[in-house]
Amino acid sequence: MALVKIGIVVPYSWSFWGAVVEHSELQAEALRRKGHDVRVVMGNDPPGQFTRTLHPRHGRDGPPPPEVIPIGRSVIVPANGTLPNIILSPRSYFRVRDALERERFDVVHLHEPMTPTPCIATLATYTGPMVGTFHASGDLGWMRIAKHVWGFLADRLDRRIAVSDMARVSAQRWLPGEYEIVPNGVLIPPAADPGAREHRIVFAGRHEQRKGLHVLLEAWPEIRRRTGADLRLIGADPLRVRLLMSRLGVSEEKDGITVLGFISQERLTEELLAAKALVAPSLGGESFGMVLTRAMACATPVVASDITGYRDVMTPETAVAFPAGDHDALAAAVEQLLADEPRRAAMGSAARERAQRNWAWDAIADRLVSIYEAAAA
List pLDDT tens digits, range 12-25. Answer: 999 888 889 999 99
What's the farthest any 2 CA atoms get from each other in the chain?
62
295-300-303-304 Cα dihedral, nearest 10 degrees: 20
Tell me where in the chain the CATH 3.40.50.2000 domain(s) lie: 5-185+360-376, 200-358
The hierarchical CATH code for the domain 5-185+360-376 is: 3.40.50.2000
| Contact call for residues 30 and 361 (beta carbons, < 8 A) | yes
Q: Give SS3 for 177.
A: coil
In the chain, % of residues over pLDDT 70: 95
63, 46 Cβ separation under 8 angstroms: yes
Per DSSP, what are the bridge partners of residue 230?
200
Work out the average pLDDT over 170-193. 94
Mean residue pLDDT of the chain comes to: 92
Q: What is the pTM of this model?
A: 0.86
Identify the pLDDT of residue 55.
66
Q: Nearest-CA neighbor of 222 among 196, 259, 249?
A: 249
Local confidence band at 138 (pLDDT 50, 70, 90 cut-offs): confident
pLDDT of 52 strictly over 70? no
Average pLDDT over residues 282-296: 90
Q: State the CATH class of domain 200-358.
A: alpha beta
What mean pLDDT comes out for the span 352-374?
A: 96
